Structure 1
Amino acid sequence: MSSPVIIAALAAGLAGFSPPADKMPSVVIRVAGDCSAAAAQVVAETGGELLSAQPTSDGKCVVTVLIPGNGGRPKKVTVKVPM
C-alpha cells in the first residue's frame, strides 16, 4: 500500500510544485542482497545442484539444492546461511 504522503508529494511534483527538501519525508528503501556467494558455498559443500537462492530481510539467504541419490530420487535440501 502506498503512503499518502508519498502520493501527495508525487502529485505536487507533477503539478509543478515541489516542497522544500526538509519538509519531505525520509524514505528507507531495502535492497535485496546478492546470494550468489552463499549459493556457491552450499553447492560446493553438498555436491548438489542449485534450485534457488533467495535473500531474506534478516541478511541471510535461503538456498535450496538437490542432492543426487544412489540411483533413486534426489534429496531436496533447504538451508539458511549468512549472505
Structure 2
Amino acid sequence: MSSQVIIAALAAGLAGFPPPAVTVPAAVVSAAGDCSVAAAQVVAETGGELLSAQPTSDGKCVVTVLIPGNGGRPKKLTVRVPM
C-alpha cells in the first residue's frame, strides 16, 4: 500500500499538483522526498513516464520508467541513482 502512496505523491508532484492528503508514516514521507529528486532526474533525462521509485538501504533509489516506443510497446528502464 505504501508504495502506491509514494507513486501517487511523486506523480502528482511531477505533474505540478499538490500531493494527495493522506496520512503515512514519517519514514515513508522522508524516503519519498529523497527519491523524488532522483525520480524527476531520470524522467527528465529519459522523457519517460515514472512507474516506480524506491529507496534502498545503501542510499540509492531504484527508479523505473516507461519510455515510449515508435508505435510499439514502451521500453521499461530501471536505474539505480544516488538519493
The answer, yes or no, to whether TM exceeds 0.5 is yes
- Which secondary structure state, in structure 1, belongs to the residue aligned with residue 37 of structure 2? helix
Larger Rg: 1
Q: Report the Cα distance in structure 2 between the residues aligned to 1:40 and 1:66, rounded to whole angstroms.
A: 13
CA RMSD of aligned residues (A): 1.1
Q: Which residue of 2 aligns with 1:57?
A: 57
Q: Report the Cα distance in structure 2 between the residues aligned to 1:82 and 1:41, rounded to whole angstroms.
A: 11
Q: Report the Cα distance in structure 2 between the residues aligned to 1:59 and 1:82, rounded to whole angstroms.
A: 6
Unaligned 5+ segments in structure 1 are 1-30
Aligned identity (percent) is 89
Q: Report the Cα distance in structure 1 between the residues aligned to 2:82 and 2:39, rounded to whole angstroms.
A: 10
Q: Report the Cα distance in structure 1 between the residues aligned to 2:63 and 2:45, rounded to whole angstroms.
A: 12
Q: Which amino acid aligns with 1:37?
A: V
Q: Report the Cα distance in structure 1 between the residues aligned to 2:36 and 2:77, rounded to whole angstroms.
A: 17
Q: How far apart are residue 64 of structure 1 and its match?
A: 0.1
Q: How far apart are residue 55 of structure 1 and its match?
A: 0.1
Q: Which residue of 2 aligns with 1:43?
A: 43
Q: Report the Cα distance in structure 1 between the residues aligned to 2:51 and 2:38, rounded to whole angstroms.
A: 13
Kindly indicate which of the two structures has a greater share of residues assigned to helix.
2
Unaligned 5+ segments in structure 2 are 1-26
Alignment coverage as a number of residue pairs = 53
TM-score (normalised: structure 1):
0.61
